[in-house]
Amino acid sequence: MSRPLRVAVVGSGPSGMYAADALVGQEDIPVSVDIIDRLPSPFGLVRYGVAPDHLSIRSVRDTLDRVLDHPAVRFVGNVEVGVDLTLGQLREFYDAIVLTYGASRDRALGIPGENLAGSIAATDFVNWYTGHPDTPTDAFVDFLATSSSVAVIGVGNVAVDVTRVLSKAPGEIEHTDMPEHVFAALRGSRVRDVHLVGRRGPAQATWTTKELRELGELEETGVLVAEGAAVDDTASQAAIAEDKAVARNVKVVEEWAARPEDDRGRHIHLHFRCRPVEILGTDRVEGLVVETTVLDGSGQASGTGQTHVIPVDAVIRSVGYRGTALEGVPFDERRSVIPNREGRVVEGESVVPGLYVAGWIKRGPTGIIGTNKKDAVQTINCLLADYADPTAWSAARPAPEAVDEALAGRTVVPTDGWRRIDAAERALGASRGRDRTTIHQRDGLLAAADAGQ
């Protein structure tokens, strides 16, 4: 071989970093890898999705960061594929492209009143409290200052994270790396009641037991089981018998239901078997109408026709993420993923040469962070098998400098630029008695990346 196999990984979340690690971790085919991300900082949902108070999970970024230490890996930040570089250009500059840009858009409820003021997506709220540079500093200041009772729709880990952040006392979160404007807004929050709403029962919830239990450990907020927690139906009993994690989750809910009434001034209310059917209000949210559901033998919910109103003045929907299309790449609109076979992108029945996919945009928003490692390795194994024969790829591709020339005039954050951002955040945190404080504005990130140059 006259040169290394050149690979572009589009997206620097866990899937992208694991893909790069799998590429440089093997010795059969020499490779060089550029990890391209539209943000100035890497790590995707580990940085901008995992709740800041989950320090052990967020520490995964330290493991991912070590991938950037490899001499064959470059970070190319603040570069958006489809805007700053086209897919066609990537094909000119690289032998293979691995798309790992995830699923960052929220799913809508599709019910009347969803567009009222006070009705928001969990993805937007999470972006704000994690310091995502696309979210304005003041995005949720008024929301927190004017809402006393909030419905969080969904029973997954993101819904639990949002509920916990809304329900914690200021002293329980100020050790985290949240930006200072987030702390200020949460200190001024008027939220006293959070209603966690799920259309099925506790045996069908997708949260993990650890995250669920944390709701019952808050200093100033009690948990009340409001309705629908019975697990006497066939599907729930079968799920409890077959899955130890489900049994643990149900036990936690049952323990809460058996507790004496909590007299603290702040509460989390669990509503099971409640399907949202309408958000009430004229100019802003004034209540949530839910329909009581029943479960069939497979655990699917159907409405009973019986409705009631949960008194809230805000609604946060947390019913899943969805991927988005990239121009020039096949896309399955129904599943919101890029169609593929074991990571090889396909169009109809045909494989698209040189184009691969990993992570949520490959399989949908499922699994935990570690799931992405196995998923990425599967994709990279396919890529390496395709290029094991040196005659399968051309030695006439442009040199690494070609992509840099195409980005001339663009403010690109390289690996050492990210290292300077990292150092600046750690220094900012230390000045406030914390390990880190997230720099949230893009200009601030770019200034930190350029400091000392």
The 10s digit of each residue's pLDDT in 4-56 is: 999 999 999 999 999 999 999 999 999 999 999 999 999 999 999 999 999 88
- Assess whether 248 and 112 both reside in one domain: yes
Dihedrals phi, psi of 144, to nearest 5 degrees: -75, -35
Mutual angle of helices 14-24 and 371-386, in 10-degree steps: 40
Say if pTM beats, i.e. exceeds, 0.85.
Answer: yes
**Same domain assignment for residues 304 and 396:** no
Its domain, for residue 260, covers: 108-320
Task: Determine, yes or no, domain membership for 443.
Answer: no
β-pair partners for 28: none
Give the E-state strand segments of 154-273 in sequence order. Answer: 193-197, 221-227, 266-271
Residue with tokens 């601030």: 444
Q: Are residues 315 and 232 in the same domain?
A: yes
Is residue 180 located within the same domain as residue 243? yes
* Residue 239: band (very low, low, confident or very high) from pLDDT cuts 50, 70, 90: very high
Given 320, 345, 363, the domain boundary residue is 320
Mean pLDDT, rounded, for 119-145:
96
On whether the CB atoms of residues 281 and 116 are closer than 8 A, the answer is: yes
- Structure-token pair, residue 47: 């940085």
pLDDT tier for residue 321 given thresholds of 50, 70 and 90: confident
Helix (H, G, I), strand (E, B) or coil at 351: strand
Domain match, 362 and 330 both: yes
| Confidence (pLDDT) at 400 | 67
Beta 274-280 vs 96-99: how paired, if at all? Answer: unpaired
Q: Would you say residue 439 lies in a domain?
A: no
Distance separating alpha carbons of residues 4 and 212, to the nearest angstrom: 47
Q: What is the mean pLDDT of residues 364-370?
A: 87
Task: Output the domain CATH number for residue 201.
Answer: 3.50.50.60
Scan for tokens 């419905």, then name that residue: 151
Does 394 have pLDDT greater than 90? no
CATH number of the CATH domain containing 387: 3.40.50.720
Shared domain check, 304 and 336: no
Query: Is residue 427 in some structural domain?
Result: no
C-alpha separations of 101 from 56, 85, 357 in Å: 24, 15, 9
Euclidean distance between CA atoms 119 and 284, whole angstroms? 8
Residues 158 and 228 placed together within one structural domain of the fold: yes
Q: Average pLDDT of the chain?
A: 94
Radius of gyration of the chain (CA): 24
Same domain, 200 and 310: yes
Asked whether 55 and 96 are in contact (CB, 8 A), the reply is no
Three-class DSSP category at 407: coil
Q: Specify the number of domains making up the chain.
A: 2
Q: What is the pLDDT, as a whole number, of residue 395?
A: 63
Give me the pLDDT at residue 392, please. 67
Residue 89's pLDDT band, with cuts at 50, 70 and 90, is very high
227 and 334, same domain (yes or no): no
What is the mean pLDDT of the segment spanning 186-204? 97
Distance CA 130, CA 26 (A): 34
CB-based contacts of 370, cutoff 8 Å, min separation 6: none
The pLDDT assigned to 153 comes to 98
Task: Provide mean pLDDT across the span 78-86.
Answer: 95
What would the two tokens of residue 27 be?
Answer: 């010795």
Shared domain for 20 and 95, answered yes or no, is yes
